[in-house]
């Protein structure tokens, strides 16, 4: 029996439809500004998709493409201008930034009420205590997928592989807030396979192509693959070996078409929320 394939494209389309419906009834359209520095090809694709998503739901959007040579001073001046611009409800600075720019300082400069990536320390702290306006887009997308497929973390063993500030840590907090029993694994975990095999819900975000195979999976588990890698043939794949794992898991997200589309859908959700808060 093969696993249920969790369709991120379908759920993302549903979320976008809900947003477009709300925006249609708004006098002032939500505004998103995306800032990209340098020529990273993957980042350019993400930025293009974000602009496309905005157009689809009826947002006002701006894309600021800055050269690799941009100074920190110039970038900060742009963020200050966007912070003060009333048309802009959300500001997103595409990461990674070129090495000479201080990522932390840039994130800290974005106003917390316009930080639709939810990376600012104020928003990170709010997530920790469970009283937040915005959630980081990828973990929020994972939670929405689980919800749509009727998979509740409550009382389940939830294992998160990866401890980044962008995915791993916030993902663990969100599963905990839904009453999951959460274990966070990483490169120093002694027996990763044993930890993963205990998981009823396994979320993998480590950036290693097809690293998790069927041996890591408890039969019937839900497997969420956050990875975005290239295999030996240069084909897009995740951190999970989809073909072997789908024979053991109860439900699994594919790559592409799983978590990826949800990330942009949740960014649009956060921007709408920022606009609603600004209008109060």
Confidence (pLDDT) at 220: 98
pLDDT value of position 45? 87
Distance CA 183, CA 189 (A): 11
The predicted model scores a pTM of: 0.95
The predicted-structure confidence for 227-279, as pLDDT tens digits, reads as follows 999 988 989 999 999 999 999 999 999 999 999 999 999 999 999 999 999 98
Element (H, E) at 145: helix 137-148
**Rounded distance, CA 171 to CA 112, Å?**
20
On the question of pLDDT at 42 being above 90, the answer is no
Whether the Cβ atoms of residue 220 and residue 250 lie closer than 8 Å to each other = yes
**Mind telling me the catalytic residues?**
50, 94, 117
Q: How far, in Å, CA of 103 to CA of 97, rounded?
A: 7
Q: What domains are defined for the chain?
A: 28-111 (3.40.50.10860), 136-260 (3.40.50.720)
């Amino acid at each position: 029996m093969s696993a249920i394939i969790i369709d991120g494209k379908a759920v993302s389309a549903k979320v976008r439809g809900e947003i477009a419906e709300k925006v249609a009834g708004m006098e002032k359209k939500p505004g998103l500004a995306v800032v990209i520095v340098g020529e990273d090809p993957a980042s350019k694709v993400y930025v293009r998709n974000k602009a496309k998503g905005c157009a689809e739901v009826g947002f006002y959007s701006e894309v600021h493409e800055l050269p690799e040579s941009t100074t920190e001073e110039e970038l900060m001046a742009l963020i200050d201008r966007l912070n003060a611009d009333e048309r802009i409800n959300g500001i997103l600075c595409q990461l990674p930034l070129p090495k000479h720019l201080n990522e932390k300082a840039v994130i800290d400069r974005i106003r917390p009420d316009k930080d639709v990536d939810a990376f600012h320390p104020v928003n990170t702290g709010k997530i920790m205590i469970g009283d937040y306006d915005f959630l980081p887009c990828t973990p929020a997308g994972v939670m929405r997928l689980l919800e749509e497929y009727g998979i509740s973390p409550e009382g389940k063993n939830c294992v998160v592989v990866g401890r980044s500030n962008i995915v791993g840590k916030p993902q663990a907090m969100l599963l905990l807030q839904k009453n999951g029993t959460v274990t966070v694994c990483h490169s120093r975990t002694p027996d990763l396979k044993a930890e993963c095999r205990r998981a009823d819900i396994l979320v993998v975000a480590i950036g290693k192509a097809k690293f998790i195979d069927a041996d890591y999976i408890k039969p019937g588990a839900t497997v969420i693959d956050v990875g975005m890698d290239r295999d030996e043939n240069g084909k897009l794949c995740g951190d999970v070996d989809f073909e072997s794992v789908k024979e053991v898991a109860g439900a699994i997200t594919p790559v592409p078409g799983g978590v990826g589309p949800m990330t942009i859908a949740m960014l649009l959700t956060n921007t709408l929320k920022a606009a609603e808060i600004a209008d109060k």
